[in-house]
Amino acid sequence: MTATRTELVPFDAALETYDPAMGLEVHVELNTASKMFCGCSTVFGAEPNTQVCPTCLGLPGALPVVNGKAVESAIRIGLALNCSIAPWSRFARKNYFYPDMPKNFQTSQYDEPIAYDGWTEVTVETDEGPRVFRIDIERAHMEEDTGKSLHVGGSTGRIHGADHSLVDYNRAGIPLIEVVTKPILGAGKYAPLVARAYVASLRELVKALDVSDARMEQGSMRCDVNLSLAPSGSDVLGTRSETKNVNSLRSVERAVRYEVERHAGILDAGQKVVQETRHWHEDTGVTTSGREKSDAEDYRYFPEPDLVPVAPSDAWVEELRATLPEPPAERRARLQAEWGYSDLEMRDVVGAGAIDLIEATISAGATPTAARKWWLGDLARRANDTATPIDELGVTPTQVAEVQALVDAKRINDKLARQVFDGLVAGEGTPEEIVAARGLEVVSDDGALAAAVDRAIEANPDVADKIRDGKVAAAGALIGAVMKDMRGQADAGRVRELIIEKLS
Ligand code: ZN
Ligand code: MN
């Protein structure tokens, strides 16, 4: 770690001199019920060290057995990424010491990954409109997760300054798939967006395959960002840095951008980029030095002697190919056409993570317009305000369709519907029950409405005169007064009719 501190070069200026190259390594935790090589549970959040056994603790004499479901998930991910599936592949021991890795080696795959040579495509919004970038996939291999260290006594939760450390091995041995891209070249100033779009599409893909919950904030999907710069037009790659465990889409984009600025500063100062791992700091938006890492790091890989090779038959691979879901990009295009959304509307829907919710709301009877109105309006705002994933608000697609049905029946209006959503979030029952319990039903009883209209006319004689003179547009002010009087629970259409009747 010899580089002295240099100034960052602003992103746009850096791109005038250098071309970025990226390599993205994404670890996806599979959602199998048991671990990769033993029968221990994988349920998240259990008491520390309650989901362990001699195998995942690496005790002498314990023998691992491959989880067939994890192999199946690995093959399906490989196929969805257009990879070749190896008819024969082996596990290997990756030897290194780390306190949260009980065996002192990680069972991984080395030169014989189960899936290799694939590709996928992502679309990024550029100055010239949407542009498709092809991402080549080097490999997708199977391995196991490590445990978790907890550093106690310091102020930061990091090992520096801690009194002691605790280790929880519940996560040790949970199946991982590591997906590695080939160098991504030619993205230029769109590199941060391409990185983000790729990780987003991979997340969408593994969710569609139902092989992982892919929650970046819980660490079940994490991205390592390799980045290097080379002088524009050069075909030699520069020295790379590897920013580890970036755990949100936004951070992937920011980390690429930051590393471009940092590398450019080092190169402009005539210094050499250090090949090292780096830590991403979400709060400050910078990376800091981790450990130096050479290309040919000696992990003393050797084939795992306790496991038989994985040799999926062609028939099984073809059977699994037939289970692949519609590719996410094709599904989006199909749904957009079915729903009649504009490109911009569809992009907002995808951005809000609401595509499945809207599809389910439409199946439950709402129109595409109504489904989008609620999910991207009131409900997206609630999700945003409370930093809750939109699918965990406590409001289901069926309930949204029920609320819209109440609006369509003129029993509530859009404003009152928001109060129904308040009730749903608070767990007060079904929309129907909430309307009854909160007394939200719109009043369309002429007696009550007519009395309120009379009060409004009396209180606003000037407005009433205008309407008598034929300025019907002025009725809005009286409707507003009646709505206020009736706490929003009047049928606005009927109120308007009554006002016109009375004043003409
Ligand atoms: Zn175990
Ligand atoms: Mn790995």
Q: Where are the beta strands (DSSP E) in 127-253?
A: 129-144, 148-152, 164-168, 175-181, 221-231, 241-246
Measure 150 CA to ligand 1 centroid, in angstroms: 20
Closest CA to 87 of 110, 113, 64: 113
Measure 218 CA to ligand 2 centroid, in angstroms: 17
Measure 102 CA to ligand 1 centroid, in angstroms: 11
Q: Read off the amino acid at residue 278.
A: R
| Confidence (pLDDT) at 125 | 86
Q: What is the pTM of this model?
A: 0.78
Determine the Cα–Cα distance for residues 38 and 58; give it in Å rounded to an integer: 11
Q: What is the residue-level pLDDT of the chain in tens, covering all 504 positions? A: 444 578 999 999 999 999 999 999 999 999 999 999 999 999 988 999 999 999 999 999 999 999 999 999 999 999 999 999 999 999 999 998 888 999 999 999 999 999 999 999 998 988 988 899 999 999 999 999 999 999 998 877 788 889 999 999 999 999 999 999 999 999 999 999 999 999 999 999 999 999 999 999 888 999 999 999 999 989 899 999 999 999 999 999 999 999 999 999 999 999 999 999 999 998 899 999 988 876 666 899 999 999 999 999 999 999 999 999 998 888 999 999 999 999 989 988 988 889 999 999 999 999 999 999 999 999 999 998 998 889 889 999 999 999 999 999 989 989 899 999 999 999 999 999 999 999 888 877 788 888 889 999 999 999 989 988 888 888 889 999 988 888 888 888 888 988 988 887
Instruction: Return the half-sphere exposure (C-beta side, CA atoms, 13 A cut-off) of residue 256.
Output: 29
Determine the Cα–Cα distance for residues 131 and 272; give it in Å rounded to an integer: 34
Report yes or no: 118 and 64 within 8 Å, Cβ to Cβ: no
Measure 6 CA to ligand 2 centroid, in angstroms: 31
Ligand closest to CA 67: 1
Measure 304 CA to ligand 1 centroid, in angstroms: 17
Measure 143 CA to ligand 2 centroid, in angstroms: 7
Report yes or no: 39 and 175 within 8 Å, Cβ to Cβ: no
Ligand closest to CA 62: 1
Ligand closest to CA 145: 2
Measure 284 CA to ligand 2 centroid, in angstroms: 26
Report yes or no: 242 and 209 within 8 Å, Cβ to Cβ: no
Query: Cβ neighbours of residue 267 under 8 Å, at least 6 residues apart?
Result: 18, 229, 238, 273
Report yes or no: 232 and 28 within 8 Å, Cβ to Cβ: no
Name the residue with tokens 């009883």: 445
Q: In what order do the strands lie in the sheet with 92-95?
A: 105-108, 92-95, 302-303
Measure 59 CA to ligand 2 centroid, in angstroms: 22
Domain boundaries, the chain: 11-319, 328-438, 446-503
Ligand closest to CA 55: 1
Instruction: Return the half-sphere exposure (C-beta side, CA atoms, 13 A cut-off) of residue 230.
Output: 14
| Confidence (pLDDT) at 4 | 58
Measure 109 CA to ligand 1 centroid, in angstroms: 20
Measure 202 CA to ligand 1 centroid, in angstroms: 28
Instruction: Return the half-sphere exposure (C-beta side, CA atoms, 13 A cut-off) of residue 391.
Output: 13
Measure 63 CA to ligand 1 centroid, in angstroms: 10
Helix or strand run (H / E) with residue 94: strand 92-95
Closest CA to 307 of 87, 60, 89: 89
Ligand closest to CA 144: 2
Cα 319 to chain centroid distance, Å, stands at: 29
Ligand closest to CA 35: 1
Closest CA to 376 of 360, 401, 353: 353
Number of neighbours of residue 17 by Cβ within 10 angstroms: 13
Measure 285 CA to ligand 2 centroid, in angstroms: 24
**Please, is 149 exposed, middle or buried when counting C-beta atoms within 10 Å of its C-beta (0-12, 13-18, 19+)?**
middle
| Confidence (pLDDT) at 347 | 87
Measure 231 CA to ligand 2 centroid, in angstroms: 30
Ligand closest to CA 53: 1
Return the CATH fold of 446-503.
Arc Repressor Mutant, subunit A (1.10.10)
| Confidence (pLDDT) at 98 | 87
Ligand closest to CA 244: 2
Q: At what angle do helices 431-438 and 397-408 cross, to 10 degrees?
A: 50
Measure 310 CA to ligand 1 centroid, in angstroms: 20
| Confidence (pLDDT) at 276 | 93
Instruction: Return the half-sphere exposure (C-beta side, CA atoms, 13 A cut-off) of residue 204.
Output: 24
Measure 1 CA to ligand 2 centroid, in angstroms: 24
- Taken in order 395, 401, 404, 409, the sign of the CA dihedral is negative
Determine the Cα–Cα distance for residues 187 and 198; give it in Å rounded to an integer: 12
Determine the Cα–Cα distance for residues 194 and 179; give it in Å rounded to an integer: 16
- Coil vs helix vs strand at 119: strand
Measure 293 CA to ligand 2 centroid, in angstroms: 15
Identify the bridge partners of residue 142 per DSSP, sorted by sequence position: 177
Measure 53 CA to ligand 1 centroid, in angstroms: 4
| Confidence (pLDDT) at 298 | 83
| Rg of the chain, C-alpha, whole Å | 29
| Confidence (pLDDT) at 350 | 86
Report yes or no: 288 and 244 within 8 Å, Cβ to Cβ: no
In 18-119, which residue ranges form alpha helices assigned H by DSSP?
68-80
Measure 61 CA to ligand 1 centroid, in angstroms: 13
Name the residue with tokens 């935790």: 29
